[in-house]
């Protein structure tokens, strides 16, 4: 006999397709949502979650966004289901890619994309070259993205500055998932980049910054009496012949205090401040003992001859 059950066959997932009015994240009620602006995910209404659950959608949820007027297409993930009914909220850079205005109708469809193996980006500004480790910065920022689409211009934020990157190529398809994947990343030269000008600019910047400065020139000039600092004159009125230019003017390093390198405090604990004062005001007793005037020939005398006794 054959026994048939309700769970004998896997449920077939059905596609999700809805049309919503799209708005930027700045129009979302409540506090400002910077986490949405920094990533590639949207906010959908609670009714979409109920419908997606009934349709048995594959996870992670990936959606294709289509602007029917301009035929622009991109892909994204979903962050939350807290939007007002009939509305979806998108990051500003995503609305710019789709050429959308506030309140424009947007078609949202569920799709299944391949896992990414390769992607190539092109910065839209030469300022991106100032980042020391761009791959590490990009990897950290892409954690807020679910997928990438060829031709999109994504925006990432680093050190309070927004950088725009164009997705030139993705493999194995024009749209790929970047969740839990091993993806190779390459960078194309930025838009308007010229290697000669960049080398010249970096060389000019490095000449002033990387040049080592003698610490002795930063020492303060000595104050008070300086021995043998005057100039000599001849009795016959003639000028003294100088052997070299170095003898004509004393060097700055000789007139300044010698540079002594400090010893670091290896027992320093982070979060503590120490106020060390090397000099303390002298007391009145110390002033009287230290300022005794010098008097010459006040010592005692001795003779080698024994003194004759007077009888």
Contact call for residues 109 and 66 (beta carbons, < 8 A): yes
CA atoms within 13 A on the CB side of 141: 23
pLDDT reported for residue 199: 60
User: Which candidate, 74, 45, 147, 65, places its Cα nearest to that of 108?
Assistant: 65
Q: What percent of the chain has pLDDT over 70?
A: 75
Q: Which of 13-17, 25-29, 48-52, 229-233 has the highest mean pLDDT?
A: 48-52
pLDDT (mean) for 128-153: 90
pLDDT band (50, 70, 90) for residue 303? confident
What value does the mean pLDDT of the chain take? 79
CA-CA distances (angstroms) from residue 250 to 231, 244, 247, 255? 11, 12, 7, 7
pLDDT (mean) for 230-259: 63
Handedness of CA 44, 45, 47, 53 (dihedral sign): positive
137-146 confidence digits (pLDDT tens): 999 899 999 9
3-state secondary structure of 165: strand
pLDDT reported for residue 59: 84
CA-CA distances (angstroms) from residue 207 to 130, 131, 132, 200, 204? 16, 19, 18, 11, 5
Q: Tell me phi and psi for residue 94, to 5 degrees.
A: -75, -35
Handedness of CA 81, 86, 92, 97 (dihedral sign): positive
Place of tokens 């761009």: 134
Q: How many Cβ atoms sit within 10 Å of the Cβ of residue 204?
A: 10
pLDDT band (50, 70, 90) for residue 37? confident
pLDDT (mean) for 1-28: 71
pLDDT band (50, 70, 90) for residue 108? very high
pLDDT reported for residue 270: 80
182-199 confidence digits (pLDDT tens): 999 999 988 888 776 656
Rounded-to-integer distance, Cα 48 and Cα 57, Å: 11
Handedness of CA 134, 137, 141, 147 (dihedral sign): positive
pLDDT reported for residue 264: 75
Q: Which structure tokens are listed for 294? A: 């010098």
In this predicted structure, the answer to whether residue 24 has a pLDDT above a threshold of 50 is yes
Residues 6+ apart with CB under 8 A from 9: none
pLDDT (mean) for 171-186: 92
């Amino acid at each position: 006999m054959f026994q048939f059950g309700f769970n004998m066959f896997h449920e077939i997932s059905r596609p999700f397709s809805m049309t919503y009015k799209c708005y930027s994240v700045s129009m979302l009620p409540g506090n400002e949502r910077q986490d949405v602006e920094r990533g590639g995910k949207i906010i959908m209404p609670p009714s979409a979650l109920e419908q997606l659950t009934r349709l048995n959608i594959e996870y992670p949820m990936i959606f294709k966004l289509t602007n029917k007027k301009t035929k622009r297409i991109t892909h994204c993930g979903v962050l939350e289901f807290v939007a007002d009914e009939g509305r979806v909220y998108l990051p500003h850079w995503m609305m710019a890619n789709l050429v959308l205005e506030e309140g424009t109708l947007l078609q949202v469809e569920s799709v299944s994309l391949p896992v990414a193996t390769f992607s190539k980006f092109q910065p839209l500004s030469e300022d991106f070259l100032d980042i020391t480790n761009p791959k590490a910065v990009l990897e950290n920022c892409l954690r807020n993205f679910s997928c990438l689409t060829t031709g999109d211009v994504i925006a990432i934020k680093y050190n309070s500055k927004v950088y725009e990157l164009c997705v030139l190529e993705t493999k194995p398809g024009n749209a790929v998932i970047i969740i839990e994947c091993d993806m190779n990343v390459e960078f194309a030269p930025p838009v308007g980049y010229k290697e000669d000008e960049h080398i010249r600019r970096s060389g000019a910047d490095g000449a002033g910054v990387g040049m080592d400065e003698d610490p002795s020139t930063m020492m303060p000039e000595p104050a008070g009496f300086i021995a043998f600092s005057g100039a000599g004159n001849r009795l016959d009125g003639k000028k003294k012949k100088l052997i070299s230019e170095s003898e004509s003017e004393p060097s700055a390093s000789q007139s300044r205090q010698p540079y002594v390198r400090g010893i670091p405090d290896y027992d320093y604990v982070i979060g503590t401040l120490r106020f060390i004062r090397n000099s303390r005001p002298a007391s009145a007793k110390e002033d009287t003992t230290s300022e005794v005037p010098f008097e010459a020939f006040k010592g005692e005398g001795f003779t080698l001859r024994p003194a004759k006794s007077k009888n």
